[in-house]
Amino acid sequence: MASTSKEKVSSVPKEDGSIAEMKTQHNDAMQDDPESYKADKDPIDFILQKLRHTKCSLLLERTFDSNTLLHVAASLGHDQIVEAILSIQQCQELLTAKNSSGDLPLHVAANAGHLPIVVKLLNRPLQHFKAQNSDAATAEHSAMVDFVVMSHQCYELLIAKNSNGDLPLHVAANAGHFSIVRHLVMLSDEYHREFLRVQKSNGDHLHHLAANAGLSSLVQHFIMLPHQCQEHLMVQNSNGDLPLHVAANAGHLSIVQHLVKFSYRCQEFLTPKNSGDNTPLPYPPVDANAGYQPSVDLSDQKLQDRYTSKLLRVKNKEGNTPLHLALIKKYEEEDLNLKTEYHEVAKFLIEKDPDACTDLNEANKDPLDLAIKAQDKELQQLMSNHLGFSKAPAWGDAEMDSIIPELDSIIPIPVLDSIIPELERVPHKKKDKVESMDPKLYEAVQRKDIDFIKAQDPEHSALSDKTPELNSILHLAAASSDDDHQFVKAILEIQLLQKSVTEKNSNDDLPLHVAARAGNIKIVKLLVEWSNGQLQDHSTCGSQWEKNMEGNTPLHLALINKFQVGRSLALKARYNEVARFLVKNGPEGCFYYPNKERESPLYLAAEAGDEELVKLMIDTVPLLPYGKSNVQAAIYYLMTITNLPYGKSIVHAAIDSSNTARKKDILSTVLTKLPHLIKEQVDTEMTPLSYASSIGYFDGVQYLFGKSPDCAYKSDEDGFFPIHIASKKGNVQVIEFFLKKNLDMSELLDREGRNILHVAAMWGKAKMVAYMLKRNGLERLINGKDKKGNTPLHLASKKKHPLVVYILTWDKRVNLRSLNILNMTAFDMALDYKDIFAYRELLTSLALIYAGARRAPPSVRRKNPQSLKLKKSDLLDEYKDFSSTLVVVATLVITVTFAAAFTMPGGYNGSGGAATFLEKHMFHLFTICNSIAMFSAVTVVVALIWAQQRDLGLFLSASQFSVPRLGLTLTMVSIAFMASNYLVLRNLHWLAYLVLIIGSFFILALSILFIPLFLPRSPQNLIARYIIYFPFYLLVKASRSDA
């Protein structure tokens, strides 16, 4: 561990009965007798008990990235712990404590979406103040107290910005937590709504965030308030975008429509005048009792249309109108659904103001140009039609100025009063100046010329210069991959450059990040040891371990690069050495902290199968020593249990390890040191046993079941138990293991009341279904029904798994006539087509027909709501298209065979008209097959003419008659072609025989494809079913219907 960490720990008073004791007892109980460890020994309750008796000074302790216990609990949603901390009156300063990212606990809770904790954090100052002023006698005094406290104490939390310049409101909006946004907005309406106008660092207001995130309810909230509607419509960010621009760029049609609908209110933002001049007021007069008083006659539709047009033609700094942005995004987007959304936005904007189609942006492109370039004929036609017939006048500047001042004249939002001075509106940002380093200095760093660097004048030095990526001299030097660290050491001796140790580049990388990424152990050691020895401020020292823009610490980067270098053993060894050093010298528990991909260093090591590093990390802080305080113990415990914040499961990583040979050893190492993780449920609430079952890791299933058999009876968020998941994935070996251990697992049902055979049939696992039908003790599952009355055969038929249906129907115990709650048989389910004549649906129906399945009697059968999705007229149209295709094919066959009858192979013999090859057997074969093909095709055409009568029953009968005969026709045509070719080539034996071989192969394949169409619909004996099985199985495989 780093020396600073040791000093900090030693300064903490020792307290008896710490969380370490609880954790030690917890682990001992799990190792000695896992079944004796019951859920009633709740560690959270123990933490709460201890925290109530903890000194406030100890609650101020922090993790290496400056998180307090209040941050940790707020992030993880432990409202009881939050309440326990806030109940200590002397600890109110924790509410305003910031971590290394500048986040308050309120930011953290807002980002994680924990509304109850947000409410507690904001209400606590008020409750605390009331407790100290409980003698207030009058209601008026109480109301005054509420207002003052909220204004001065709680409001400080609302307006606090983190390192990115975001308020808690911005954080919640970015994360899409509308319930929290709504709560904060309601507070603003009641007390101070000025903070809603505070900009983010990129110039976005809450209005922009809501429009971009698609929070239509929040947008409507602003629009419906007259005193905020104008501001919401008009406010611009640093790129000059209105909320309308942002909504169009995000493809949110409903928000665009709302903004355009209320565009006429823009005039009220500009119409009121000061008494002494004609300057528009910065804001409309705020009078709670005044109500909404339009300053112009809103019944004038022409005037309203002009305001709408003016709003739609506002350009941002790139000269783009909302229509430009919608079109640009549409043509850049690859996802078809998103393209459709942008198309609808563009279509709406064009219809609202056709003249916007001719507005040019800074690239000298108008919307019509964009549509033409993208070959979007539909929008081109729409623009041309509107422009050609639009009656809207071409307004001049003078006419428009008489109605509404230019939107560019809107002045910035004013500075707020002195009570909240930090609410000054951030001015529009101009393009940041690109940093650059003196070329000679840059070359000197590359050459490692320390003399040139030291020769720089300290007062007018270029030593503070940075590259375009904001890399300092120390960053460039730390990126070296060679073993020479003396250059970096010499740089650190220059006083002006020592501050670079804690400076970040554009990716938020510190020099230590850069050195770890390069795998240079000597530079890494130098930076860590120098920081520990030279930096007096421990918090500054700890900042070396901060995360970069991807959320990676230096340890993350060392591990990521180690596992990405491929087979280079030398590079792996370098990164391994760096990782080991950082583990041993990093802040306590740093390897539990996840990055933005939710992967902690321990997760990365386990996923890569690096047992050595996994063991080193876990052994570094296996259990908290008794000397640690309750707070440090609680933070550590919450981190390891819940993987702050929402990290991926370490045990899942061990199970999914890429090192197959060492997978079980890694899993054993993790669970030996952290036994509580065997029961953790993350993401979809899958336990490690469920996860191992899902990927078919049999050794892991055996090991985990042996450690904790009760995990086999824990379900995930879908109600699936491990045995259900194994059935869903088709892992027969895992199912067999579970049933051998305890046959009653076969009785487990998911939320829909489905057993393991239901699940296997529904997901099309043919081998799993076959295994269960053969295994003794599972007979009750075969015709078991779920909550909707469906048997496994119902579900397999509904999901169109023909091979599973075929396997089930071969078992005599399967009830083919079982009815579900809709009084439908499995055959009824199979006929519920969603895709007309999908081949797997046809095969499913055939499998049931071959088994003698029948539909339920019409008297009891109820209509399935899903079967009503396609109207009868739509079905008839689909059938008509299908029959038309068959008619075309049959007609072509008639034409070809008719022509072949008069152009015999070999021609005619003399003037008698007899065929030259009349006596040849192959000629006989040609004539017979050609005749059969001709007359069969004519019969098919006539039958399909009847199918055009728009009668569903008639079509089904005609298609059942025509399709097999069309198959016969095509087969005969193929044989006739083969025979005629043989006749012509018979004197060249090798070529003639080759033609016969090729033709025979494809005719056989064609026959196999059409055999099921010739077979009887309901075979009367097993021999016929056995004959059918082989071509049926080939068809299933060929059509991939078993997938």
Residue-wise pLDDT tens digits, 141-164: 444 444 444 455 677 787 788 887
Q: Which of 75-79, 634-638, 1018-1022 has the highest mean pLDDT?
A: 75-79
pLDDT of 45: 63
For 906, the domain range is 872-1038
Angle at 241 between CA 240 and CA 247, to 5 degrees: 175
Distance CA 131, CA 124 (A): 11
Name the residue with higher pLDDT: 224 or 8. 224
pLDDT of 757: 96
Q: Is residue 924 part of a domain?
A: yes
Helices and strands, counts by H and E, the chain: 54, 2
Q: Is residue 1002 part of a domain?
A: yes
Distance CA 648, CA 600 (A): 8
Categorize the per-residue pLDDT at 516 as very low, low, confident or very high, splitting at 50, 70 and 90. very high
Categorize the per-residue pLDDT at 344 as very low, low, confident or very high, splitting at 50, 70 and 90. confident
pLDDT of 804: 93
C-beta separation of 728 from 695 below 8 A: no
In this predicted structure, the answer to whether residue 305 has a pLDDT above a threshold of 80 is no
pLDDT of 738: 94
Tell me whether residue 367 is exposed, middle or buried, using C-beta atoms within 10 angstroms of its C-beta: 0 to 12, 13 to 18, 19 or more: buried
pLDDT one-digit tens code per residue, 81-108: 888 778 776 677 788 888 877 888 888 8
Name the residue with higher pLDDT: 367 or 653. 367
Our CA dihedral for 615, 620, 626, 628, rounded to 10 degrees, sits at: -140
Q: Is residue 981 part of a domain?
A: yes
Q: What is the mean pLDDT of residues 342-358?
A: 84
In this predicted structure, the answer to whether residue 461 has a pLDDT above a threshold of 90 is no
Write out the E strands in 60-185. Answer: none
In this predicted structure, the answer to whether residue 763 has a pLDDT above a threshold of 80 is yes
pLDDT of 805: 92
pLDDT of 241: 81
In this predicted structure, the answer to whether residue 43 has a pLDDT above a threshold of 80 is no
- The neighbour count for residue 414, using CB atoms within 10 Å, is 12
pLDDT one-digit tens code per residue, 652-709: 777 766 666 666 777 887 787 777 778 777 666 788 898 889 888 888 899 899 988 9
Lowest mean pLDDT of 114-123, 262-271, 979-988, name the range: 262-271
Count CA atoms closer than 13 A to 12's CA, side-chain side.
26
pLDDT of 725: 93
pLDDT one-digit tens code per residue, 885-916: 888 989 999 999 888 888 888 777 766 677 77
pLDDT of 676: 74
**pTM: predicted TM-score of the whole model, two decimal places:** 0.57
Q: Is residue 862 part of a domain?
A: no
pLDDT of 567: 76
3-state SS class at 909: strand
Number of structural domains in the chain: 1
Among residues of the chain, what percentage have pLDDT more than 70?
Answer: 67
Average pLDDT, the chain: 73
Count CA atoms closer than 13 A to 91's CA, side-chain side.
23
Q: Is residue 213 part of a domain?
A: no
pLDDT of 729: 92
Q: What is the mean pLDDT of residues 101-122?
A: 86
pLDDT of 975: 92
Lowest mean pLDDT of 157-166, 230-239, 333-342, name the range: 230-239
End-to-end CA distance of the chain, in Å? Answer: 53
pLDDT of 229: 57
Categorize the per-residue pLDDT at 14 as very low, low, confident or very high, splitting at 50, 70 and 90. very low
3-state SS class at 787: coil
Q: What is the mean pLDDT of residues 249-255?
A: 84
In this predicted structure, the answer to whether residue 201 has a pLDDT above a threshold of 80 is no
Q: Is residue 905 part of a domain?
A: yes
Q: Is residue 33 part of a domain?
A: no
In this predicted structure, the answer to whether residue 221 has a pLDDT above a threshold of 60 is yes
Q: What is the mean pLDDT of residues 55-61?
A: 64
Q: Is 494 left (phi over 0), alpha (psi -120 to 50) or beta?
A: beta
Q: Is residue 975 part of a domain?
A: yes
pLDDT of 756: 95
